[in-house]
């Protein structure tokens, strides 16, 4: 049986894979599991619910809220706000759980549901499994009368609380920095420009007019060419690109060159080490990070630990080791001293703060790391689980590894959110990486 939860919550085509009835049951099951250990109190449990602006968000928010209220949980709806905003508000309001309705970088027809426990923390696999099991064991009836939860439709101070938190985390004056921010017509369309302006930056916002249908539509971090063009056009110092729920951030320097999550981590790691903020001189990244990041960190005297792909696994390693910086090449950057999950707006603020503190351009700061040629091919597949067990794939991997030797590496993995298998190859030369990746992708596609 396929597990309902993927690497980042429950995700699928809204109203087909992710239905209203499923959302209703998920809300009720999550409420039962996440409030089960709550100490007795005169106050009912509270859940925070936020969403990105895609059209199905309102529908799913209503279903989830109804499910939680049916279990006696009071629901506070905070509207359109980034995923890290929901995580922060779950803690800041002292709520028992939080829910974000978003499919992140996926196209508009998709949607997803992510849960946070008290304190705004992502759930471990074991708790997600409990929620999934509880969906099949829900009682026919729930509390009645005064025991039924209330749904509060608006939290007027939610955005202000989140903005104040971001400013407190990054007090550096950014006056003199001109930044283009691509909001992906998503959850950060209002928050990100306000946060950057409050810090003193001159902000040019693009794709910041969501209409429920245009989220991630040829914009945002999955279409970095849009912000590259705008940076050159406006003569900006840098560009920042967020995804639909703004838990990630990619950057572009003044010449239009992409600065990805690996380079951003390298920049922040060096700066934090200088200020004795990089605990245990350790950076946590994933197996997808470029080999160049590991080499750069070794040169800087910084240890780099690797996890499985997914910011939740980065978070687990950060928490287990007491580290202070981690993230992914895709732009999920986690700073546990300030947030419990990846926060794209906070990342943008930290990156510009480093520029302001050093007086260096983004290109100069990114020079701490040399990016080795890396090719990533996404192969559509019907059965992701069958790929790695196929001997043809394993034989092709062995052949590729022998060819690359110590100057490169191969990584094949199933996407946790889409019907894709990802083939990644690094090599000393771009042409070699392309050829090897192409051969591997062809084998995967033939399965």
User: Do the two domains 161-366 and 374-446 of this chain adopt the same fold?
Assistant: no
- The answer to whether the annotation marks 247 as part of a ligand binding site is yes
Statement: the pTM of the whole predicted model exceeds 0.85: yes
- The answer to whether the annotation marks 104 as part of a ligand binding site is yes
At 39, the pLDDT band (50, 70, 90 cuts) reads low
Instruction: Rounding to the nearest 10 degrees, give the CA dihedral for residues 439, 224, 416, 386.
Output: -20
Q: Which residues contact 402 (CB under 8 A, 6 or more apart)?
A: none
Known active-site residue 406:
no
Which candidate in 65, 70, 104, 189 is catalytic? 104
Where along the chain do its domains lie? Answer: 10-156, 161-366, 374-446
pLDDT in tens, 231-282: 999 999 999 999 999 999 999 999 999 999 999 999 999 999 999 999 999 9
What mean pLDDT do residues 79-96 have? 97
Tokens representing 303 are 């240890």
User: 161-366 belongs to which CATH class?
Assistant: alpha beta
CATH number (3.40.50.20, 3.40.50.300, 3.50.50.60, 3.30.310.50) of 374-446 reads: 3.30.310.50
Number of CB atoms found within 10 A of residue 349's CB: 27
Residue 79: which H helix or E strand, with range? strand 74-80
Helix 57-69 crosses helix 20-34 at what angle (to 10 degrees)? Answer: 40
Supply the pLDDT for residue 309. Answer: 84
Say if residues 346 and 265 touch (Cβ distance below 8 Å).
no
Give the range among 3-7, 141-145, 393-397 with minimum mean pLDDT: 3-7
- The answer to whether the annotation marks 243 as part of a ligand binding site is yes
Supply the pLDDT for residue 253. Answer: 98
- The answer to whether the annotation marks 137 as part of a ligand binding site is no
Q: What fold characterizes domain 10-156?
A: Alpha-D-Glucose-1,6-Bisphosphate; Chain A, domain 3 (3.40.120)
**Of 295, 263, 289, 255, whose CA–CA distance to 365 is shortest?**
263
Supply the pLDDT for residue 438. Answer: 96
Which tops the pLDDT comparison, 37 or 219? 219
Number of CB atoms found within 10 A of residue 213's CB: 12
């Amino acid at each position: 049986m396929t597990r309902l939860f993927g690497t980042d919550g429950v995700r699928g085509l809204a109203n087909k894979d992710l239905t209203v009835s499923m959302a209703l049951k998920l809300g009720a099951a999550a409420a039962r599991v996440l409030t089960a250990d709550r100490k007795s109190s005169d106050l009912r449990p509270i859940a925070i619910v936020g969403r990105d602006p895609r059209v199905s968000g309102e529908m799913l928010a209503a279903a989830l809220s109804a499910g939680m209220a049916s279990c006696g949980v009071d629901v506070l709806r905070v509207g359109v706000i980034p995923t890290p905003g929901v995580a922060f508000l779950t803690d800041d309001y002292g709520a028992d759980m939080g829910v974000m309705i978003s499919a992140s970088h996926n196209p508009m027809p998709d949607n997803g549901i992510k849960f946070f426990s008290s304190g705004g923390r992502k759930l471990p696999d074991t708790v997600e499994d409990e929620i999934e099991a509880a969906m099949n064991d829900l009682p026919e009836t729930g509390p009645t009368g005064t025991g039924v939860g209330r749904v509060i439709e608006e939290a007027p101070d939610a955005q202000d609380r989140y903005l104040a938190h971001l400013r407190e985390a990054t007090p550096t004056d950014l006056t003199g920095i001109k930044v283009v921010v691509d909001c992906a017509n998503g959850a950060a369309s209002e928050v990100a420009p306000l946060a950057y302006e409050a810090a003193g930056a001159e902000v040019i916002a693009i794709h910041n007019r969501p209409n429920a249908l245009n989220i991630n539509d040829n914009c945002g971090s999955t279409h970095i060419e849009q912000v590259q063009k705008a940076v050159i056009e406006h003569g900006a110092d840098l560009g920042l690109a967020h995804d639909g729920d703004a838990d990630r951030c990619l950057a572009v320097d003044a010449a239009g060159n992409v600065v990805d999550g690996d380079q951003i981590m390298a920049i922040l790691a060096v700066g934090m080490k200088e200020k004795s903020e990089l605990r245990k001189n350790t950076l946590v990244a994933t197996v997808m990070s470029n080999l160049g990041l590991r080499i750069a960190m070794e040169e800087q005297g910084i240890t780099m630990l690797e996890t499985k792909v997914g910011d939740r696994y980065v978070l687990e390693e950060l928490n287990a080791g007491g580290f202070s910086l981690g993230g992914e090449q895709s732009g999920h950057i986690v700073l546990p001293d300030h947030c419990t999950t990846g926060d794209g707006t906070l990342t943008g603020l930290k990156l510009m703060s480093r520029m302001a503190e050093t007086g260096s351009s983004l290109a100069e700061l990114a020079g701490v790391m040399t990016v080795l040629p890396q090719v990533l091919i996404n192969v559509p597949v019907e059965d992701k689980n069958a790929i790695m067990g196929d001997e043809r794939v394993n034989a092709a991997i062995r052949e590729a590894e022998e060819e690359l030797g110590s100057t490169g590496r191969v990584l094949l993995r199933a996407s946790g959110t889409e019907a894709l298998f990802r083939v990644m190859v690094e090599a000393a030369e771009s042409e070699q990486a392309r050829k090897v990746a192409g051969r591997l992708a062809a084998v995967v596609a033939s399965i």
